Amino acid sequence: MSPSRPHDNQVPDLCGYNLYASDPVLRDAVRRAGASDFDPTLRRIGATLGAADILALGDRANRHPPTLQVFDRLGERIDTVTFDPSWHTLLTLLRGEGLHALPWTDPRPGVWAARAAGYFLQGQVESGTLCPATMTFAAIPVLQQDPGLFSRLGPLLLSREHDPRDLPWEQKYAALIGMGLTEKQGGSDVRSNRSWAVPSTAGGRHGAWRLNGHKWFFSAPMCDAHLVVAREDNPRDGPLSCFFVPRWRPDGSRNAVHIQRLKDKLGNRSNASSEVEFHDAWAMPVGEAGRGIPILLEMATHTRLDCVIGSAALIRRALVEVLHHTRHRSAFGRPLREQPLMRNVLIDMALESEAATRLMIRLAAAFEQAAAPEPDPLARAYRRIVTPAAKFWICKRAIELTGEAMEIWGGNGYVEDAPLARLYREAPVNSIWEGSGNVMCLDVLRALQRDPDGAALLLADWSAAFRDDSLLSGCLHTLQALLAQPADVQEAHARRLAQGIILLEQARLLREHAPADVSGLFIASRLGDGGLLAHGRVCGTLALDGLAAGDTRMLDRHWA
């Protein structure tokens, strides 16, 4: 057959565009977060990632997933996972921009927002390679608490190089850290863990330990070391502590971390997730005895931020794909973009993407403010309370929005030749990883209960912001009334509570930073009918009576 011609009504691939320069909302959010100094860097990253050959790497990495070789030809156990070269190329790009450690390598004002923006751009190309970068990012502040270990390991974690060689970390010029938390009997209930470690030298807690047990999910098994939660002394009731478990023992032999299999996952296929067993594996305690759960929670706060960023990236990629598609494809005699019902759906998706992008940058800025020498109490409350709520809500929205985008493409979106099927398969992982929806919402409740002063600051901040708006003030009163209910009632409605927290904050951000018609439409559609605790909704049900029949301004401002 002859090549496709313009009149064939087939849409050309979206490539050769600058992911940052074509995103006015992201650029505005970065500026408002005080990160304008990073604008040239982000613009360069956006140009690199939008090139056709780089976008193709994301597809290739997922078509050629990692493979496991347990033994070499002589029968020696090697537990080696091999990745496609595209995986290493994408990780090289990510680390080359410092996106795995930027707040610690370039601590200028606005760095957290800039790092979130860069990560957001990378996430639009491929999601699986984000996993080891995120775990390394989350591990850095934990490992900094052990000055002796970090003095040797830190330069390798902060390095802007990617070293894929399978060697002891002491012999490498860059390193990655993974995590080993969940077990088959517990899942998110880490307190039920049974893996255990006992001292193997006279050094006690500061010496070498022998680790036994298993992990049901052991992410990125080719990382140079993992932070593993296990019990001290016995598997039944020993204190849960955190252990540093390298791939190689200090004597140069392979550590006894036996990979049983790689998980056959729905999406995130470029990334290796595994099931492992420990057989007297060499381990070293990190942090105080019995503090494994608090260390886990500190790491999870950072990984949850990245889940929000990664899901916002999927929403953005889905949006630009459908904006591109509907500009080029016609049905029933006119371009899809010009048809009123399709425009309703597109504007609704654009509102969702803008709200997710602004929330993502605001959340990252709160991490920076909370970590300042004189921490902002409101930012600390925002970080602790809004982060799990945002992970719940934005990750859920990504699942819907990627499905909606695939439907807009029709049958062309459902086949693996196009990127939308991959985006759709990718979306659920962020909603599940580091705590699924119910876990996040219960964590929101715990945060509100454990930090009543912080909760009061957050509510007071919203109250001041919504003083001139009866609808939003009424929604805030509904939220406060729910928080006054007995604990069992709050738990039963924890999902609505988390949804309400995010919708109020998104409404506030859009009121402050977006045009009035954009914020008004978002608020009316998300908080109008039924108020704060309304049930779910689908895209394309906006009340667009106020828009002229052919008005596309709300779409044009999302892709310059």
Using one digit for the tens of pLDDT, what is the confidence trace for 311-350? 999 999 999 999 999 999 989 889 999 899 999 999 999 9
Gap between the Cα atoms of 553 and 535, Å rounded: 29
Look at the chain and count its residues. Answer: 560
Least confident of 179-193, 324-338, 351-365, 501-515: 179-193
pLDDT for residue 7: 60
- Output phi, psi for 50, to 5 deg: -85, -5
Nearest CA-CA partner of 353 in 168, 533, 557, 532: 557
Rounded to a whole number, what is the distance in angstroms from the first to the last CA of the chain? 35
Q: How far is CA 469 from CA 3, 180, 451, 543, in A?
A: 56, 47, 27, 20
User: In sequence order, which residues have a C-beta less than 8 Å from that of residue 453 and are 6 or more positions away?
Assistant: 377, 381
pLDDT tens profile 424-443? 999 999 999 888 889 999 99
Are 184 and 214 within 8 A, CB to CB?
Answer: yes
Residue 444 in contact with residue 389, Cβ under 8 Å?
Answer: yes
Residue 274 has pLDDT above 50, yes or no: yes
HEC string for 319-382 = HHHHHHHHHHCEECCEEHHHCHHHHHHHHHHHHHHHHHHHHHHHHHHHHHHHCCCCCCHHHHHH
Q: Does the pLDDT value for residue 550 go beyond 80?
A: no
Per-residue model confidence (pLDDT) at position 535: 52
Which residue shows structure tokens 């070789």?
A: 69
Q: Which amino acid is at 212?
A: N
For position 115, what pLDDT does the model report?
98
β strands within 92-174, DSSP E: none
Query: Across the chain, what does the average pLDDT equal?
Result: 92
For residues 8 and 231, the model is more confident at 231
pLDDT, mean of residues 292-309: 90
**Is residue 419 predicted with pLDDT exceeding 90?**
yes
Give the DSSP H/E element, type plus range, for residue 388. Answer: helix 387-409
Q: Distance between CA atoms of 484 and 455, rounded to whole angstroms? A: 13
Asked whether the CA dihedral 212, 217, 220, 225 is positive or negative, the reply is: negative
Q: What pLDDT is stored for residue 457 in this prediction? A: 96
pLDDT at 547: 54
DSSP letter for 16, please. Answer: S
* pLDDT (tens digit per residue) in 50-101: 999 999 999 999 999 999 999 999 999 999 999 999 999 999 999 999 999 9
pLDDT in tens, 351-391: 999 999 999 999 999 999 999 999 999 999 999 999 999 99
Q: Tell me the C-alpha distance between 79 and 496, whole Å.
A: 45
Residue 78 phi, psi dihedral angles, 5° rounding: -125, -25
* Residue keyed to tokens 């260390």: 295
Res 459 pLDDT > 60: yes
Burial class (CB in 10 A: 0-12, 13-18, 19+), 9: exposed
Q: How would you label 454-477 residue by residue, b for 16+ Cβ within 10 Å and e otherwise?
A: bbebbbeebeebbeeeeebeebbe
The residue written with tokens 């990617």 in the block is 162
For 101-157, write each residue's pLDDT tens digit.
999 999 999 999 999 999 999 999 999 999 999 999 999 999 999 999 999 999 999
- CA pseudo-torsion sign 90, 92, 93, 95: positive
Residue 201 makes CB contacts below 8 A (sequence gap 6+) with 207, 208
Mean pLDDT of 520-540: 76
Of the listed ranges 156-170, 177-191, 491-505, 512-526, the least confidently predicted one is 177-191
DSSP strand pairing (330-331 vs 177-180):
unpaired
CB 211 within 8 A of CB 198: no
Q: What is the pLDDT of residue 5?
A: 58
CA–CA dist 413, 398 (Å, integer): 16
CB atoms near residue 435 (< 10 Å): 21
Q: How many CB atoms lie within 10 A of CB 152?
A: 10
Residue-wise pLDDT for 203-214, tens only, equals: 667 789 999 999
DSSP letter (8 states) at residue 385? I
Evaluated on CA atoms 541, 546, 552, 558, the torsion sign reads negative
Band (pLDDT 50/70/90 cuts) for residue 189 is confident
Query: Taking residues 275-301, what's their average pLDDT?
Result: 91
- Which backbone phi and psi does 155 adopt, to 5 degrees? -60, -30
Query: Residue 379 contacts by C-beta under 8 Å, 6 or more apart in sequence?
Result: 365, 366, 367, 368, 369, 370
CB-based contacts of 217, cutoff 8 Å, min separation 6: 180, 181, 182, 263, 273, 274, 275
For the chain, what percentages of helix, strand and coil (3-state, to nearest 5) are there? 55, 15, 30
Q: How far is CA 528 from CA 223, 515, 522, in A?
A: 48, 18, 9
Answer whether residue 536 shows pLDDT above 90: no
Do the beta carbons of residue 441 and residue 390 sit within 8 Å? Answer: no
Nearest to 177 by CA among 217, 142, 212: 142
Model confidence at 500, in pLDDT bands (50, 70, 90)?
very high
